[in-house]
Structure 1
Amino acid sequence: MNFDFAVAGGYFAGWRLVRALPEKFAYKTFEKIGQYALLRNGSSVKRLRSNLSRVCPTYSSSEMDELMRRAMSSYMRYWCDTFRSPDWSRERIAATVTVDGEDLLTSPMKNGTGVVVSLPHAGNWDHAGSYFCGMGFPLVTVAERLKPEALFKKFLEYRQNIGMEVLSLDSRSIVTLLQRAREGRLIALVADRDLSKSGVDVSFFGHPARMPAGPALLAIRTGIPLITAYVSYTPTGIHIIFNSVEIPTTGSEEERVSQVVQRCADLFAKGIASSPQDWHMLQRIWIDGDFQERSA
């Protein structure tokens, strides 16, 4: 309990400090932290390199080293953004976002129809969420509970201040999401990883992986549009690419879910291949090799 308190206290102190630093100095500091972590080559960095080697299998050793440098820079930029973005104005958020396929989201929402957005861990998805919350769209998402509890509550408060409704990821969340979908809400779900028994098997960059069924289930059961988003960094902000996901009309629900999740995986792969340094996957993603299944 005391250890959890110390961890949370240190995190909160760091949050306040980074917000108080001059902007350029803060980002340069995080850049240096990322490069230090790269040199230490801990387990998370090794996992990122392993993951990116499957995204870019033809890269030479020197090309992979450069990609890892850019990937850690992108990852640390995300964290610096997270600490500092509570102070960003609505005008700054709007001015630093560009979008391809924006009508896929805005047109249904303006007509009162909900939309499900499925996206991978790429770029800064909170920045994207802030952009659409600024348009007045009620956004709903889910979050896994972090330890310590105080840290989870801090992230909950952070996203609520953006304008999001954040549900705790548990067995009841799908019921609430179905209700929100029917109410015409914008539902955004990070959905490129689910290693539990409930995950849906997909082929991802030619290797077996598992991804969550949630976005597909919401679209199939409610009939609202499902789109994918890939968020990448630009020199001044983020770029979002939306793609529509076709929902099959025949077959069992399980068969249809499987098809839809695979289509999402293919679109994720397309986005990741275009900007691999912005895919912040420092955890296991594929289920071959020494993978051991965990409980749901």
Structure 2
Amino acid sequence: MSLREPLVVGAFRAAWRFARVVPEDVAVTASRRVADRLARRGGPRVEQLRRNVAHARPDAGPAELDVLVRDGLRSYARYWLDAFRLPGWTRERTVGTVRMDHGEQLRAALADGRGAIGFLGHLGNWDHAAAWSATELAPVVTVAERLRPEEVYEEFLAFRRSLGVEVLPLGDPATFGTLLRRLRAGAFVPLLADRDLSAAGVEVDFLGERVRMAQGPAALALATGAPLFPFGLFHEVAGGRRVLVIDVGPQVPVPDRRPDETSREHRRRAVAQMTQACADALAAVVVAHPDEWHVLQPVFGQG
């Protein structure tokens, strides 16, 4: 363990306790002030967010980008605040502050026991969406990057289990096989796929550039026959309440195999086309809600 790791664990636990014990309005105000301070101070992560958001709004001038970065950091801080407080929410709040749009195909697939796969970006609050889905749709199984320090990773596993979500480790050779079994048993498998963390991703066009995104969602759909849906997550205020909108895109079709294609060639082409369809759907949501795209790491120039 490095000398820095105990500090990270301590800071994480302090933030977790603070978010849970103070009144919500106080915590929201504090999170916004922290976000605004970070926006003014800048730094590598803030500048990376600025570069990412600029791809969604290429005509934005410096002043508009300043506002988008500030709002993006406020949204990201609110994500963490809500995530820390989620285990203490009532079922009524967890369920009652979510609206799913265009989810008929998804519900039908899960009701038939076929399982379903979601292609998600780092938008809105995916932990809240997963908690809602575990209650309202089907058992939820997903994959997460193994964080350092290990204690923080274990805390997050316990947190997501408390929401009814099974989390499998990214990079474990057994993970893909487990996902296959869970899908065949009727589970819902939403996967964050807008960043390729495996070095085995697929090149796609995204917001005017070539980038790499995870191939897992398309590969699982091909292997199991479970339908693949792109998802958009963003917030609206309705009736005085902040509501998480889960916007389900149309099912992504599997391309027909060409007469001259081998099965391997068809799989490679199908994964690329299906991932591109998901990237197109994600791009539309990011353009509409750039402040809710929580990516402070490099995305562009990685293709």
TM-score by length of 1: 0.94
Equivalents in 1 of 2:279, 2:115: separation in Å? 22
Cα distance in 2 for residues equivalent to 1:197 and 1:14: 32
What is the match of residue 285 of structure 1?
A: 299
Deviation of 1:195 (Å): 5.7
Partner secondary structure for residue 81 of structure 2: helix
Is 1:261 equivalent to 2:263 in the alignment? no
Counterpart residue number, 1:248: 255
Cα deviation digits, residues 34-64 of structure 1 (max 9, x gap): 0111111111110000011111001122221
In the alignment, the residues of structure 2 paired with residue 120 and residue 188 of structure 1 have an alpha-carbon distance, to the nearest angstrom, of 10
- Tell me, in whole angstroms, the C-alpha distance in 2 between the residues paired with 1:65 and 1:17: 29
Counterpart CA distance in 1 for 2:211 and 2:280 is: 12
Corresponding residue SS for 1:241: strand
> Which whole-Å CA distance do the structure 2 matches of 1:79 and 1:195 have between them?
21
Q: Which residue of 1 aligns with 2:244?
A: 238
How far off its partner does 1:228 sit? 0.9
Tell whether the 8 Å contact from 2:138 to 2:186 is kept in structure 1 after alignment. Answer: no
| 1:137-160 deviation per Cα after TM superposition (whole angstroms, max 9, x unaligned) | 100001111111000000000100
| SS state at 1:145 partner | coil
AA aligned to 1:286 is F
Corresponding residue for 2:44?
43
Match of 1:221 in 2: 223
The answer to whether structure 1 residue 275 and structure 2 residue 289 are counterparts is yes
- In structure 2, what residue type is equivalent to 1:3? R
Q: Given that residues 104 and 227 in structure 1 are in contact (C-alpha distance below 8 angstroms), is that contact kept between their aligned partners in structure 2? A: no
SS in 1 for 2:255: coil
Separation in structure 2 between the aligned mates of residue 156 and residue 266 of structure 1, nearest angstrom: 31
Distance in 2 (CA, whole Å) between partners of 1:195 and 1:239 is 26
Contact map agreement 2:35 2:77 (CA 8 A) in 1: yes
- Once the two structures are superposed, residues 187-209 of structure 1 have per-residue CA deviations (whole angstroms, 9 ceiling, x without a partner) of 01000011653110111111010
Written as runs of structure 1 = structure 2, the 5 A alignment for 1:1-296 is: 1=1, 2-135=3-136, 137-170=138-171, 171-194=173-196, 196-235=198-237, 236-243=242-249, 244-251=251-258, 252-287=266-301, 291=302
Q: CA distance change for structure 1 residues 200 and 168 in 2, over 3 Å: closer, same or farther?
A: same
8 A Cα contact 1:18 1:26, kept in partner: yes
Cα distance in 2, alignment partners of residues 102 and 255 from structure 1: 27
Residue type of the alignment partner of 1:256: A
Q: How large is the RMSD of aligned CA atoms in angstroms?
A: 1.4
CA deviation vs aligned residue, 1:228-257 (integer Å, no higher than 9, x gap): 111002231211110121221225101110
Alpha-carbon distance between aligned partners in 1 of 2:156 and 2:236, rounded to the nearest angstrom: 25
> What SS class does the counterpart of residue 256 from structure 2 fall into?
coil
User: Which runs of 5 or more residues in structure 2 are unaligned?
Assistant: 259-265
Whether the 8 Å CA contact 1:55–1:276 is kept in 2: the answer is yes
- CA change 1:259–1:95 in 2 (3 A) is same
TM-score by length of 2: 0.92
Give the partner amino acid of 1:16.
R
What secondary structure sits across from 2:53 in the alignment? helix
Q: What is the aligned residue count?
A: 289
- Structure 1 runs of 4+ aligned residues shifted over 6 Å read none
Q: Give percent identity, aligned residues only.
A: 38
Give the 3-state SS of the residue equivalent to 2:82 in structure 1.
Answer: helix
Distance 1:45 1:80 in 2: 19
Q: CA deviation at 1:94?
A: 1.3
Task: List runs of 5+ in structure 1 lacking aligned partners.
Answer: none
The one-character-per-residue Cα deviations of 1:45-96 (angstroms, maximum 9, x if unpaired) are 1000001111100112222112112111111110111111111011011111
